[in-house]
Chain A
Amino acid sequence: MKFSIQVNEGPYTHQAADTAYQFTKAALENGHEIFRVFFYHDGVNNGTMYGVPPQDDRNVQSLWSELAEQHELDLVVCVAAAQRRGIMDEDESKRHGKGASNIAPGFRISGLGQLIEAGIESDRLMVFGD
């Protein structure tokens, strides 16, 4: 089956991001296709490269990056939600006169149309978060 995933909560505060990650991983391991993972609301915070949790804790952001690399996942951070919350790639950072970008490897920034397209193109859109 072709799935898309919507992640509406950031890492650590809610388990939703972990559950979304585990679902995505399990789906891939069971031979399903993940068309796209779309990060919205505070979910965009899954896409920062500056998360440094204690060493005995999981690093949610890195887990996503690693999964993306292994499976060529399309991890999309909503641009409007990201701008509000300070998640930027290099282009965005330059455009807004900020000093540095902070988007984690494997993530890209794009618009809400990518979420709608994911809904249209996938057999199921799974939403994780409050």
Chain B
Amino acid sequence: MTEKTFVYLNRKAPYGSVYALESLEVVLIGAAFEQNVKLIFIDDGVYQLTKGQKTDGIGMKNFSPTFSALGDYDVNQIYVDEQSLKDRGLTMDDLQALTYEDEDDDWAEKNSMHLVNREQIAELIGDADVLLNF
């Protein structure tokens, strides 16, 4: 099968609208197609990765633990926009530490998360064959 670069641009908060959840569903299904997959979190999208989400009070399912499974699906290129974190008073320490096991390196556990600036994000978008915007 042709391998293309799929970039998922996640712009919205995890709750308040369904886009974040339904984006993650595409990523998980898409993982079976063995494509080059990159996830960008920008604007309120950075909240999707925050630690310690509790949704009991809003009657919604907390789907944030699912992100930690992405490494097992070979989804290990995750980019977080630095400016969006800054604007919201967040740092990488507020986010889940997402990792994967590198099969080419004796299954060593490696970091999936990359802090990037706007120029790098523009480059990531520019290099995408398929850009899915959620």
Contacts and interface: CB of A to CB of B under 8 A. Distances in A.
Interface string A106-123: 000001110111011000
Nearest to A123: B129
Interface residues of A, number: 17
Interface in B19-38: 19, 22, 25-26, 29-30, 32-33, 35
B6 interface: yes
Nearest to A41: B22
Interface size class of B (residues with CB under 8 A): 10 to 19
A127 B132 contact: yes
A113 B32 contact: yes
Contacts, number: 46
Nearest to A129: B133
A84 to B, nearest CB: 8
Contact of A120 (B19, B26, B33): B33
Nearest to B26: A112
- SS class, residues of chain B in contact with chain A: mixed
A112 B130 contact: no
Contacts of B129: 119
A21 interface: no
B74 to A, nearest CB: 14
A81 B22 contact: yes
Nearest to A117: B33
